[in-house]
Amino acid sequence: MNDRLNFYNSYLSYLFHVFNIGGSFVMTYATRENNKSMKWVGIGFNSFSQLIFLIEKLNNATMKQNQKDIVAIKNGTYNGEGATPEVEVPDDSEDGTKSKMD
């Protein structure tokens, strides 16, 4: 599984740089030409590149956790209980109390 994540991370890294540079180029060109709609295309490229960056970082964290689990299995200390992320629910009630997810 780590080989696949590593394989995809290399492509995600290239995609991030392509969209980031493309977004910067489009923004520079749109600013020079004073084209508002093209500026939004540049903003979209940059936003998409940031999404790719976040996915790449998530994959890196998953690979690191997998490596730690493999080492723990080899050492005989693996218990199978990984860390579960906390889920924050936004405050949407009128009285200001937070609802909790079960």
Neighbours of 80 (CB within 10 A): 7
Say which residues have a Cβ less than 8 Å from residue 78's Cβ, sequence separation at least 6. 69, 72
pLDDT, tens digit (0-9, with 9 covering 90-100), for 8-46: 888 888 999 999 999 999 999 999 999 999 999 999 999
Evaluate whether 102 touches 87 at the Cβ level (below 8 Å): no
Higher-scoring residue by pLDDT: 93, 3: 3
Q: What is the pTM of this model?
A: 0.66
Taking 70 as the threshold, does the pLDDT of residue 92 lie above it? no
